[in-house]
Amino acid sequence: MQTVLNLLEMEPIRFFIAFGAILFLVLNLAAILVMAERKVAGYIQLRYGPNRVGWRGILQPLADIIKLFTKENVSPGRADLWIFLGAPIALFIPAVLVWIVIPFAPGAVVADLNVAILFFVGVTSIGALGVIMAGYGSRSSFSLLGALRGAAQIISYEVPLILSLLGIVMLTGSLSLVDVVNAQGDTFWTWYFLPQFPMFIVFYIAGIAEVKRVPFDLPEGESEIVGGFMIEYSGMTWALIQAAEFASMGLMSAIATTLFLGGWQPPLPFLDLGQFNWFWFGIKTALIMFTFQWIRWSMPRLRMDQLMDFGWKILVPACLIWLFVTAGVMLIIPG
Amino acid sequence: MLKDEKRVESITLSGRESGRLANPDIRDEFGLETLDMNMGPQHPAMHGLLRLILELDGETVVRCDPVMGYLHRCQEKIAENRMYPAVIPLTDRLDYFANMHNEHGYVLAVEDLLDVEIPPRAEYIRVLMCELMRLASHIPSLGFLMLELGAFTPILYCFRERERIQTIFEAVTGARMMFHYIRIGGVKADLPPDIPQKIWDYIEGLEQRFQSDFVDLIQGNEIFISRTRGVGTMSQEKALEMGLTGPPLRCTGVDFDIRRDYPYSIYPELEFDVITDQAGDVEASYRVRIAEALQSIRLIKQCLEKMPEGEVMGDLGRRLRPAEGDGFGRVESPRGEFSVHVVSDGSDTPYRVHYRDPSFCNMQLLQEVIPGHYLPDIMPIMGLIDPVSGGWDK
Q: Looking at the structure, tell me whether residues B223 and B260 fall in a common domain.
A: yes
Q: Report chain B residues whose CB lies below 8 A from the CB of A208.
A: none
- CA-nearest residue of chain B to A306? B226
Q: Looking at the structure, tell me whether residues B132 and B219 fall in a common domain.
A: yes
Burial of B226 (0-12, 13-18, 19+ CB in 10 A): middle
- Asked if the Cβ–Cβ distance from A224 to B152 is below 8 Å, we say no
Between chain A and chain B, the number of residue pairs with CB atoms below 8 A apart is 87
Give phi and psi for B27, each to the nearest 5.
-135, 155
Please check the confidence at residue B2 and state whether its pLDDT lies above 50.
no
Whether B263 has its CB under 8 Å from any CB of chain A: the answer is no
Query: Up-side HSE of residue B81: CA atoms within 13 Å toward CB?
Result: 4
- Asked if the Cβ–Cβ distance from B150 to A215 is below 8 Å, we say yes
- Residue A6: what pLDDT? 62
Q: Looking at the structure, tell me whether residues B207 and B272 fall in a common domain.
A: yes
Please check the confidence at residue A271 and state whether its pLDDT lies above 80.
no
Q: Looking at the structure, tell me whether residues B304 and B382 fall in a common domain.
A: yes
The predicted model gives A266-295 an average pLDDT of 85
Sorted by sequence, the CB contacts under 8 Å of residue B317 that are 6+ apart come out as none
Give phi and psi for B341, each to the nearest 5.
-120, 120
Least CB–CB distance from A300: residue in B36, B37, B223: B223
Please report, to the nearest 10 degrees, the dihedral formed by the alpha carbons of residues B19, B22, B25, B31 taken in order: -170
- Residue B30: what pLDDT? 64
DSSP string, B112-180: HHHT-PPPHHHHHHHHHHHHHHHHHHHHHHHHHHHHHTT--HHHHHHHHHHHHHHHHHHHHHS-SS---
Q: Looking at the structure, tell me whether residues B60 and B112 fall in a common domain.
A: no
Q: What gap in Å lies between CA B326 and CA A243, rounded to an integer?
A: 64
Contact present, A255 and A281 (Cβ < 8 Å): no
Q: Report chain A residues whose CB lies below 8 A from the CB of B217.
A: 298
Query: Up-side HSE of residue B317: CA atoms within 13 Å toward CB?
Result: 8
- Residue A9: what pLDDT? 63
For residue B338, the 8-state DSSP code is: E
Range of the domain at B43: 4-67
Contact present, A128 and A122 (Cβ < 8 Å): no
Q: Report chain B residues whose CB lies below 8 A from the CB of A44.
A: 153
User: CA geometry: angle at B248 spanning B247 and B254, to 5°?
Assistant: 80
Q: Report chain B residues whose CB lies below 8 A from the CB of A43.
A: none
Query: Up-side HSE of residue B83: CA atoms within 13 Å toward CB?
Result: 9
Question: Given strand B35-39, what is the order of strands in its sheet?
Answer: B35-39, B51-57, B60-67
Q: Looking at the structure, tell me whether residues B128 and B31 fall in a common domain.
A: no
Contact present, A90 and A130 (Cβ < 8 Å): yes
Please check the confidence at residue A1 and state whether its pLDDT lies above 60.
no
The predicted model gives A28-49 an average pLDDT of 86
Please check the confidence at residue B136 and state whether its pLDDT lies above 70.
yes
- CA-nearest residue of chain B to A222? B150
The predicted model gives B87-98 an average pLDDT of 88
- Asked if the Cβ–Cβ distance from A223 to B147 is below 8 Å, we say yes
Q: Is the ipTM of this complex over 0.90?
A: no
Whether B164 has its CB under 8 Å from any CB of chain A: the answer is no
Q: Is B341 left (phi over 0), alpha (psi -120 to 50) or beta?
A: beta
- Asked if the Cβ–Cβ distance from B376 to A299 is below 8 Å, we say no
For residue B85, the 8-state DSSP code is: G
Q: How confident is the model at residue A335 (pLDDT cuts 50, 70, 90)?
A: low
Q: Name the domain boundary from B13, B32, B67.
A: B67
Helices (H) and strands (E) in chain B, counts: 17, 8
Whether A47 has its CB under 8 Å from any CB of chain B: the answer is yes
Query: How many other CB atoms are there within 10 angstroms of residue A8's CB atom?
Result: 10
Q: Looking at the structure, tell me whether residues B51 and B131 fall in a common domain.
A: no
Average pLDDT score, chain B = 84
Beta strands, E only, A40-175: none
Q: Is the dihedral of CA B86, B322, B258, B282 positive or negative?
A: positive
Q: What gap in Å lies between CA B85 and CA B314, rounded to an integer?
A: 14
Whether B32 has its CB under 8 Å from any CB of chain A: the answer is no
Q: Name the domain boundary from B67, B86, B112.
A: B67
Whether A40 has its CB under 8 Å from any CB of chain B: the answer is no
Helices (H) and strands (E) in chain A, counts: 13, 0
Q: Is the dihedral of CA A261, A262, A265, A267 positive or negative?
A: negative
Q: Looking at the structure, tell me whether residues B49 and B97 fall in a common domain.
A: no
Q: Which residues pair with B354 in a beta bridge?
A: B341
Query: Domain total for chain B?
Result: 2
Least CB–CB distance from A223: residue in B37, B45, B221: B45
Contact present, B342 and B330 (Cβ < 8 Å): no
Helix axes A60-70, A235-260, angle to 10 degrees: 140
Query: How many other CB atoms are there within 10 angstroms of residue A179's CB atom?
Result: 16
The predicted model gives B109-138 an average pLDDT of 89
Query: How many other CB atoms are there within 10 angstroms of residue B166's CB atom?
Result: 17
Residue with the bigger pLDDT between B47 and A155: it is A155
Average pLDDT score, chain A = 84
- Residue B342: what pLDDT? 92
Interface test with B, best of A40, A144, A224 (most B CBs within 10 A): A224
Please check the confidence at residue B364 and state whether its pLDDT lies above 60.
yes
Each residue of A81-117: pLDDT tens digit?
A: 888 888 998 888 888 888 888 888 887 777 777 888 8
Distance of CA B259 to the CA centre of its chain: 15
Q: What gap in Å lies between CA A199 and CA A149, rounded to an integer?
A: 25
- Residue B340: what pLDDT? 92
Residue with the bigger pLDDT between A274 and B221: it is B221
Query: Up-side HSE of residue B117: CA atoms within 13 Å toward CB?
Result: 4
Contact present, A185 and B340 (Cβ < 8 Å): no
Q: Name the domain boundary from B47, B67, B87.
A: B67
Q: How confident is the model at residue A144 (pLDDT cuts 50, 70, 90)?
A: confident
Least CB–CB distance from A297: residue in B35, B152, B160: B152
Contact present, B341 and B87 (Cβ < 8 Å): no
Whether A302 has its CB under 8 Å from any CB of chain B: the answer is yes
Query: Domain total for chain A?
Result: 1
Please check the confidence at residue A294 and state whether its pLDDT lies above 80.
yes
Q: What gap in Å lies between CA A297 and CA A292, rounded to an integer?
A: 9
Range of the domain at A165: 2-332
Interface test with A, best of B43, B50, B59, B161 (most A CBs within 10 A): B59
Q: Report chain B residues whose CB lies below 8 A from the CB of A215.
A: 150, 223
Q: Looking at the structure, tell me whether residues B268 and B310 fall in a common domain.
A: yes
Short-list B10, B19, B5, B55, CA closest to B35:
B55
Q: Looking at the structure, tell me whether residues B58 and B82 fall in a common domain.
A: no
Name the 3-class secondary structure at A262. Answer: coil
Chain A nearest C-alpha distance from B145 (Å) = 10
Whether B59 has its CB under 8 Å from any CB of chain A: the answer is yes
Each residue of B188-205: pLDDT tens digit?
A: 888 888 888 999 999 999
Q: Looking at the structure, tell me whether residues B54 and B105 fall in a common domain.
A: no
Please report, to the nearest 10 degrees, the dihedral formed by the alpha carbons of residues A315, A318, A323, A328 taken in order: 180
pTM equals: 0.83
Q: What gap in Å lies between CA B281 and CA B232, rounded to an integer?
A: 5
Q: What gap in Å lies between CA A283 and CA A168, rounded to an integer?
A: 22
Residue with the bigger pLDDT between B287 and A7: it is B287
Q: What gap in Å lies between CA A195 and CA A204, rounded to an integer?
A: 15
- Asked if the Cβ–Cβ distance from A297 to B157 is below 8 Å, we say no
Touching B: A residues 229-288, CB under 8 Å? none
Each residue of A191-249: pLDDT tens digit?
A: 888 888 888 999 999 989 888 887 888 888 777 778 778 888 888 888 888 888 888 88
Short-list B262, B260, B214, B255, CA closest to B236:
B255
Q: Looking at the structure, tell me whether residues B305 and B382 fall in a common domain.
A: yes
Each residue of B369-392: pLDDT tens digit?
A: 888 888 888 888 888 888 888 888
Name the 3-class secondary structure at A280. Answer: helix
| CATH number, domain with residue B221 | 1.10.645.10
Q: How confident is the model at residue B341 (pLDDT cuts 50, 70, 90)?
A: very high
